[in-house]
Amino acid sequence: MAFTLKSTAFSNEETIPDKYTCQGNDISPPLQIEGVPENTKSMALIVDDPDAPNGTFTHWVLYNLNPETTELREAMPPDERVQGTSLQGMNDFNRVGYGGPCPPSGTHRYYFKLYALDTELDLESKATKTDVESAIRNHVLAETQLMGKFSK
């Protein structure tokens, strides 16, 4: 089975419902994970918008996810530690946890990138996307992504 990331809220390359954006409840969407590779020690999720006017904008950083995880529930709390050992980092709204799509204009793409890793990351909570990307270098067993679109 291929390593995949899906959502019951929206399909790949489809519109993210308002509920998961700044125009709605601004909560994280439900995500389903399948086909985690053998020997995976942890997973990391980074959600970002490459279409932001001032460069890529980070909406969510989640790491040290247990490799047995098959879903991330809707409305993950903005706590530093969630779902057991998982840690949440800082998004570009300068908050811990998920910050939904909120483009100033036009249609933006939001990439939910999931990485299967051969290690747990030696990072404290509140790590940034840059911290996580640096820590996962040379440790990625597989990666998958889900892309959703949103416009105001």
The tens place of each residue's pLDDT in the chain, 152 residues long, gives 899 999 999 999 999 999 999 999 999 999 999 999 999 999 999 999 999 999 999 999 999 999 999 999 999 999 999 988 899 999 999 999 999 999 999 999 999 999 999 999 999 999 999 999 999 999 999 999 999 999 98
The burial of 15, by beta-carbon neighbours within 10 Å (0-12 exposed, 13-18 middle, 19 or more buried), is given as middle
**pTM: predicted TM-score of the whole model, two decimal places:** 0.97
17 burial class (0-12, 13-18, 19+ CB within 10 angstroms)? middle
Topology of domain 4-151 in CATH is: Phosphatidylethanolamine-binding Protein (3.90.280)
Q: How many CA atoms lie within 13 A of 57 on its CB side?
A: 20
Within 13 Å of residue 124, how many CA atoms lie on the same side as its CB? 1
Q: Domain residue spans in the chain?
A: 4-151
The pLDDT of residue 62 is 98
Terminal-to-terminal C-alpha distance of the chain: 37
